[in-house]
Chains A and B, each alone.
Chain A
């Protein structure tokens, strides 16, 4: 079965510092990887997906199939980036649409 691991439950950085939220997955096929974010008092929302290869709010994530990783990075963290971040995986076939989530990382950006 597939699995997503986010090793850091809490991550604290200062404003302007680089930030990297780690995500590793286990799945023998070719999954789709996503980062979801939940800001305080807001619902869970999609931040970015690996197939789009986009940068959202300054965040990027590259899928490394060799290391089975999908780390989320931002060169200069902002206070408004403070939130809960979830890495998620979706496989295809009859399981298309179903997401497997990691445990989540709470990011705190200090002024």
Chain B
């Protein structure tokens, strides 16, 4: 399996500010993803974090709003920029390992509330 930690676990932020969420994995992984789960909604993929290059964003998500970094094979960050109350969600990191390609492991999530 993969042990994934996310920081912070939760935060309350003011409108217009930005928050950076960290995702750390205990071993090298081939793929890293960021999902959003809005209140009462399902999980929606934001982007694929690519090691050493720009992230690949899904329709409806843009780099200016959700800049992502992945400097190595075990770490990624997601920034939620210029936040509004609509950004209040749980943000989850997930990973795929090379030796277990058909299973995606999820982090504990970061619960963000924007006032």
Residues of A within 8 A of B108 (CB): 43
Residues of A within 8 A of B41 (CB): 103
Residues of A within 8 A of B43 (CB): 44, 86, 99, 101
How big is chain A's contact interface, by range? 10 to 19
Q: Which of A43, A46, A49, A103 contacts B109 (CB 8 A)?
A: A43
Interface set, chain B 63-115, CB cutoff 8 A to A: 92, 94, 96, 102-109
Question: Contact at B42–A101, with CB atoms within 8 Å?
Answer: yes
Chain B residue nearest in CB terms to A6:
B42
Q: Considering residues A43, A45, A49, which has the most beta carbons from chain B within 10 angstroms of its beta carbon?
A: A43
Query: Is chain B's binding surface mostly helix, strand, loop or mixed?
Result: strand
Residues of A within 8 A of B48 (CB): 97-98
Number of A-B contacts (CB under 8 A): 39
Interface set, chain B 7-65, CB cutoff 8 A to A: 31, 33, 41-45, 48, 58
Question: Contact at B31–A104, with CB atoms within 8 Å?
Answer: no
Question: Contact at B31–A44, with CB atoms within 8 Å?
Answer: no
How big is chain B's contact interface, by range? 20 to 34
Question: Contact at B42–A43, with CB atoms within 8 Å?
Answer: no
Chain A residue nearest in CB terms to B102:
A49
Taking the closest CB of chain B, its distance from the CB of A45, in whole angstroms, is 7
Known contacts: A43-B108, A45-B106, A49-B103. The answer to whether A98 contacts B42 by CB under 8 A is no
Complex A-B, nearest 8 residue pairs according to Cβ-Cβ distance, in ascending order: A44-B106, A101-B43, A101-B42, A97-B31, A103-B42, A43-B108, A46-B103, A43-B106
What are 16 contact pairs spanning A and B, CB under 8 A?
A43-B106, A43-B107, A44-B106, A97-B31, A97-B96, A98-B45, A98-B48, A98-B58, A99-B33, A99-B43, A99-B94, A101-B43, A101-B44, A102-B42, A103-B41, A104-B42
Q: A32-B102, A101-B43 are in contact. List 16 more A-B contacts (CB 8 A).
A: A43-B107, A43-B108, A43-B109, A44-B106, A45-B105, A46-B103, A49-B102, A86-B42, A97-B48, A97-B96, A98-B33, A98-B48, A99-B45, A99-B94, A99-B104, A102-B42
A residues near B (Cβ < 8 Å) are: 32, 43-46, 49, 51, 86, 97-104
